[in-house]
Amino acid sequence: MNDIPKHELFIENIRKMTAPQTRLQRVIALAHQYRGSLIFIILPSLITAIYYFLIASDLYASEASFVVRSPSHMQSMGGLSSLLQGAGISRAQDDDYAVNDFILSRDAITALEKQVNLREIFNRPEADFLARYPNIIFHEQAEDFFRYYQYRVDVVLDTMTGITTLTVKAFRPEDSQLIANLLLKESESLVNRMNERAHQNSVREAETEVKLSEERVVEAEQNVLAYRTRESMLDPAKSSGAIVEMLAKMQAELAMTKTRLAELDNNSPGSPLHSDLEEHVTALEGQIASQRARLAGGSGSMAPKISEYEQLILKQEFAAKELAASMASLESARVEARRQSIYLDRVVEPNLPDKALFPKRIKSFLIVLISCFMGYSVGKLLLAGVREHAQD
């Protein structure tokens, strides 16, 4: 090599540079020139196209719609909810969220697995290696299956109308329809359990109140009985009435006796009956004073006894009225328990799809292509800015 003159080496290099390139060399040169676009745009898009157009398995989607409504919860709404409200029934939005959360929960998976082999449904032979379960992303753990399930089941609540749309994707049409039907069935069972718990609580509270009212009635009756036994009288008010009647008779007799005594003093001052009449007047006055003292003369008189007795009777009447009100509340709670306060009505039954709507092949490919292009362009601009800053 050292024996070759330098001018001949120079001529040889010029000849190689000016010689026509082969097709492979031109391809290699272009690939080297556009290696960034090739790596960050073309290669990911090509892989995406190969997967979606050659490998990705079809997914069949079964859709259903339902609404959760309550006859006791009235509020102003539009659309279908206005029609429901016009019929005396409105939706219960809180219960909508509860049902939707249940559909996407582990409890729903547990309920489904008691009726069908859910893992086998998502591992059909026609499923591709990325879409089936398990795969390289979702493994055999329960948590991974829960996250995979949430990719295949979707619920969307329209807050304007209160209608929830349920979408189930599977590799066979009958599988997606079956899962959607089972989810609606389990959701209806959940609503029934919610009704039952609410009604049991209301009836239980009403029964407790009735029991307390009965205890108050029994206590009031026992207090009245103890009072009658202690005072040896059934009704102090009636007993005092007899005393008042006796007082009235004695006062009338006293008045008549005093009148006779006055007439006797005027007509026969020395009559022997005078002393008898005076003794009779004195005796009547003593009896009247004694009966008055018995009515309202002190702590042992009839007045405080009547007051105590009336208070006991008043408490007894209040306890009886409270018991009657508690019994009415209990009966109302039992009537309400026989009614269903929350309903899940199916607006659209799960359909049996005859065409695979997923995956969206063209849409997915375009999303990857545009995303890669934008990402590469932004990265290239940032890199150019960094280089320009470094040169400055």
Q: Are residues 72 and 158 in the same domain?
A: yes
Q: Are residues 188 and 76 in the same domain?
A: yes
Closest Cα partner for 291 from 248, 256, 235?
248
Q: Are residues 108 and 191 in the same domain?
A: yes
Burial class (CB within 10 angstroms; exposed 0-12, middle 13-18, buried 19+) of 178: buried
Structure tokens at 124: 């059909």
Q: Are residues 348 and 201 in the same domain?
A: yes
Per-residue pLDDT of the chain (392 residues; tens, 9 = 90+): 455 555 565 555 555 555 455 767 666 766 667 787 888 889 999 999 999 999 999 999 999 999 988 765 444 444 444 444 444 444 456 778 999 999 999 999 999 999 999 999 999 999 999 999 999 999 999 999 999 999 999 999 998 888 999 999 999 999 999 999 999 999 999 998 888 887 777 788 888 888 998 889 899 888 888 877 887 776 776 666 666 677 777 788 778 877 877 777 777 766 677 677 777 777 777 777 676 666 665 555 666 777 777 788 888 889 899 989 988 888 887 777 666 577 889 999 999 999 999 999 999 999 999 999 999 899 889 888 888 877 76
Helix (H) / strand (E) containing 60: strand 60-70
Q: Are residues 256 and 328 in the same domain?
A: yes
Burial class (CB within 10 angstroms; exposed 0-12, middle 13-18, buried 19+) of 118: buried
Give the span between the Cα atoms of 217 and 209, in whole angstroms.
Answer: 12
Structure tokens at 263: 């007439």
CATH number at residue 82: 3.30.1890
Closest Cα partner for 161 from 382, 384, 347?
347
Closest Cα partner for 166 from 233, 99, 237, 216?
99
* pTM for this prediction: 0.63
Domain that includes residue 222, residue range: 213-337
Q: Are residues 145 and 36 in the same domain?
A: no
Contacts of 292 (CB under 8 A, 6+ apart): 247
Q: Are residues 219 and 353 in the same domain?
A: no
Give the span between the Cα atoms of 116 and 121, in whole angstroms.
Answer: 8
Per residue in 25-38, pLDDT (tens digit) is 666 766 667 787 88
Q: Are residues 198 and 319 in the same domain?
A: no
Please indicate, yes or no, if residue 229 is contained in any of the structural domains.
Answer: yes
Please indicate, yes or no, if residue 319 is contained in any of the structural domains.
Answer: yes
Give the span between the Cα atoms of 229 and 245, in whole angstroms.
Answer: 25
Q: Are residues 288 and 227 in the same domain?
A: yes
Per residue in 237-254, pLDDT (tens digit) is 666 666 667 777 778 877
Closest Cα partner for 176 from 364, 362, 346, 355?
355
Q: Any alpha helices (H) in the chain, and if so which ranges?
A: 6-18, 23-33, 35-37, 43-50, 80-86, 93-103, 106-113, 118-121, 142-152, 173-231, 236-267, 273-296, 302-337, 361-391
Q: Are residues 286 and 217 in the same domain?
A: yes
Please indicate, yes or no, if residue 254 is contained in any of the structural domains.
Answer: yes
Burial class (CB within 10 angstroms; exposed 0-12, middle 13-18, buried 19+) of 246: middle
Give the span between the Cα atoms of 287 and 293, in whole angstroms.
Answer: 10
Residues composing the chain = 392
Give the span between the Cα atoms of 379 and 387, in whole angstroms.
Answer: 12
Please indicate, yes or no, if residue 37 is contained in any of the structural domains.
Answer: yes
Indicate the number of domains in the chain: 3
Cβ–Cβ < 8 Å for 72, 339: no
What is the torsion angle, in degrees rounded to the nearest 10, for the CA atoms of residue 91, residue 97, residue 98 and residue 101? 150
Q: Are residues 372 and 284 in the same domain?
A: no
Give the span between the Cα atoms of 209 and 211, in whole angstroms.
Answer: 5
Look at residue 73 in the predicted model and tell me its pLDDT: 46
What is the torsion angle, in degrees rounded to the nearest 10, for the CA atoms of residue 38, residue 43, residue 46 and residue 47? 180
Q: Are residues 74 and 199 in the same domain?
A: yes
Closest Cα partner for 97 from 171, 156, 30, 49?
156
Please indicate, yes or no, if residue 1 is contained in any of the structural domains.
Answer: no
Question: What is the 3-class SS of 62-111, one letter each residue?
Answer: EEEEEEEEECCCCCCCCCHHHHHHHCCCEECHHHHHHHHHHHCCHHHHHH
Per residue in 292-304, pLDDT (tens digit) is 666 665 555 666 7
In single-letter form, the type of residue at position 119 comes to R
Tell me the torsion sign for CA atoms 9, 14, 19, 22.
Answer: positive
